[in-house]
Amino acid sequence: MSEDNNLIDLDFESVKNAIFSLMSKTIKNTKQSLLIEEQENVDLYVTDLNLKNSLIFTQSSFKNYAHDFNNISYSKVSSFLQLIRINSNYISIGFQCIADDAKLASSIIKKINDIYESSVTVTAEFDNDYSDITNFFSNNIQNRISELQGSDGIEKTRAEIKKCQEKMSEDLDKILEINKDIGKNISKIVVKYLKDAVMPLQANKKMKDNSVEKRNLSRGENGLKKDPTDDIKIIADIGSDEVEVKKIFDDINENIVELDRLYQTLAKENAAIAMATTIELQSNDFNNYYKEIHPKAEDTEKAWLDVYSKYSDLKDSLLNMSESDSNALSKLWADLSVYAKYVSDQMYISNN
């Protein structure tokens, strides 16, 4: 390229060869990203509602659409398309001055831009379809599940279970308190008897004839007769505690039976919710919605196939290009890239 940037001096062959090299390489590498693989039975799961094991779509005609939902690679495709679009803008700068190959270059750029626009449209369609499906499940099935979990159902059972558990906790606390009292009462009666038994033996040691005087063990200190009602009262207290403990344990056993019943009820209600969810997925509302979304999905699938077909045609036309044409295109690309940089630099200078 001359110093005065005269477009007539552009090396057309070099640019043309560069364009061919770029296009053939990038399209070849991107083929797998655009290819919609054939599968016999593709399952689409709606994971947003934690229904991972609930099969939603199985129809063969829906497989490609479902597959793309699970394997979206828009970022790779978009990056590739954006790259070509930017490159095509550079090429466009010099087209007006290169009359001989303007038609060829314009045709390639038009195809690239058409494919780019089609891809953007199809991507938007996928986003809309996915949004429609998400909204449908949120507004229909999830609401139905919420109704089943209302105050008259599973929440009520859970509240009763909590109440029953709290009652058992209170009963256990009572038993701990009674155990302390029992310990005190037993200690009282045992200590008294031991004390009464030891005192006479200590007195007998002082007797010279070592004879053992038979004393009444019910006597207290100094051989005084103690009140037997004290022992009776302590024994009665222990008996009363025993009755109270038995009563509390009976209450706990009743609570255990009630808890078992409530947990069985909870299991049945959970099963009912699972069944209702399955029925909801098979309801008329869902079937009608499927009939509505299905044709739309097929149209989107066809649009993707159309985009891929356009890429295929472009790839074939580039790969079948004659060597002289490809060299010319490569030279055109190289020189126009230099010119594009020059224009960019001039714009930067003028803006600053």
Burial class, 276, CB count within 10 angstroms (exposed 0-12 / middle 13-18 / buried 19+) = middle
Residues 300/126, Cβ–Cβ less than 8 Å: yes
Q: Tell me: pLDDT of 323 over 70.
A: no
Please indicate, yes or no, whether residues 100 and 162 belong to a single structural domain of this protein: no
Please indicate, yes or no, whether residues 41 and 146 belong to a single structural domain of this protein: yes
Asked, for residue 2, whether it belongs to a domain, the answer is no
pTM of the entire structure?
Answer: 0.31
Q: What is the pLDDT of residue 208?
A: 45
Asked, for residue 56, whether it belongs to a domain, the answer is yes
Residues 30/22, Cβ–Cβ less than 8 Å: no
Please indicate, yes or no, whether residues 51 and 77 belong to a single structural domain of this protein: yes
Please indicate, yes or no, whether residues 215 and 124 belong to a single structural domain of this protein: no
Q: What is the pLDDT of residue 78?
A: 47
Residues 188/230, Cβ–Cβ less than 8 Å: no
Asked, for residue 317, whether it belongs to a domain, the answer is yes
- Please report which confidence band the pLDDT of residue 135 belongs to, taking 50, 70 and 90 as the band edges: low
The C-alpha atoms of residue 312 and residue 305 are separated, in whole angstroms, by 10
Q: Tell me: pLDDT of 311 over 50.
A: yes
Please indicate, yes or no, whether residues 333 and 237 belong to a single structural domain of this protein: no
Q: Tell me: pLDDT of 163 over 60.
A: yes
DSSP per-residue letters across 72-87? --HHHHHHHHHHHHHH
Please indicate, yes or no, whether residues 246 and 296 belong to a single structural domain of this protein: no
Q: Tell me: pLDDT of 63 over 50.
A: no
Q: Tell me: pLDDT of 162 over 70.
A: yes
Please indicate, yes or no, whether residues 198 and 142 belong to a single structural domain of this protein: no
Higher pLDDT, 48 or 68: 68
Q: Tell me: pLDDT of 159 over 70.
A: yes
Q: What is the pLDDT of residue 251?
A: 72
List the domain range (segments joined by +) for residue 211: 154-279
Domain final position from 264, 279, 294: 279
Half-sphere exposure of 177 (CA within 13 A, CB side): 8
State both tokens at 301.
Answer: 């699938």
Domain count for the chain, please give it: 2
Please indicate, yes or no, whether residues 138 and 165 belong to a single structural domain of this protein: no
Which residue's entry shows tokens 């739309």?
296
Q: Which residues of 22-52 are buried (b: 16+ CB within 10 A; e: fewer)?
A: bbeeebeebeeebebeeeeebebbbeeeebe
Name 121's Cβ contacts closer than 8 Å, sequence gap at least 6: 303
Please indicate, yes or no, whether residues 194 and 144 belong to a single structural domain of this protein: no
Mean pLDDT of the chain: 54
